[in-house]
Amino acid sequence: MAKNKFNKDWLNDHLNDPYVKMAQREGYRARAAYKLKEIDEQDRLIGPGMVVVDLGSTPGSWSQYTRNRLVEFGKKNPDTPDGKPFGTIVAIDILPMEEIADVTYLQGDFREEEVLRRFEALLPGNPEDGPRVDLVLSDMAPNLSGVSTADAARMGHLADLALEFAQAHLKPNGALLIKCFHGSGYSQIVESFKRVFKVVSPRKPKASRDKSAETFLLGKHLK
């Protein structure tokens, strides 16, 4: 009975959520697009000509938002064809994702050598010149069990994977934005970021529900 009530309450909140309605109206696949939008507007994350990687991209709303931003920059760049983004977006996920115009989607596990080789072949520029990525985004989250220690370990593991990927591929002044959760293990993730980045900032956009422990962590400029 309690579970049914929880499901009904969640469904009711979801259907009446202004961000859900806005996402449906504006063609975004998930309300998560507005979390990235708020952080981008605050921190000017996405810039003209950038190479952006979206880890754990499915269903694709962060890639959609990134594309829209790069299209805006394309309008101001005379060398960019009409309606095209000024920049490059590569989305990676183990799960399938519906196609998004101008986003290169790579299905696979980014920890695997073969997937990384395919990924690197998609990047503009010469690999001999060093790292070629400006921004790594990760909205990845584990399936939560409700056991705080186990969930913290899973979240920490995903944060470590995103950090390792960023260290391997980011330009020196690049940035990494990940999702994480307040609670057990959060301070360790912050410390890991501080070992890698010169600037580390937590972000809690309005589109992230107040009652959710979800928060975002932004690292900028590699040490």
- The string of pLDDT tens digits covering residues 47-74 is 999 999 999 999 999 999 999 999 999 9
Instruction: Catalogue all structural domains in the chain, each as residue range(s) with its CATH number.
Output: 30-222 (3.40.50.150)
146 is in an annotated binding site: no
Higher pLDDT, 77 or 142: 77
109 among the known binding-site residues? yes
**In this structure, are strands 170-181 and 214-222 parallel, antiparallel, or unpaired?**
antiparallel
Is 179 one of the annotated active-site residues of the chain? yes
Residue 93 is labelled as binding a ligand: yes
**Which one of the listed residues 35, 37, 179, 220 is annotated catalytic?**
179
In the predicted model, is pLDDT for residue 177 greater than 50?
Answer: yes
Average pLDDT over residues 37-44: 97
DSSP string, 95-147: S-----TTEEEEES-TTSHHHHHHHHHHSSS-GGG---EEEEEE---PPP-S-
d(CA 91, CA 114): 16
Which stretch of 11-20, 31-40, 190-199 has the lowest confidence by average pLDDT? 11-20
Backbone φ/ψ region at 60: left (φ over 0), alpha (ψ -120 to 50), beta:
left
Residue of 214, 209, 204, 215 lying closest to 14 (CA atoms): 209
Identify residue 55 by its one-letter amino acid code: L
Q: Is the pLDDT of residue 12 over 80?
A: no
Q: What is the chain's mean pLDDT, rounded?
A: 90
Q: How far is CA 151 from CA 40, 73, 146, 155, in A?
A: 28, 39, 7, 6
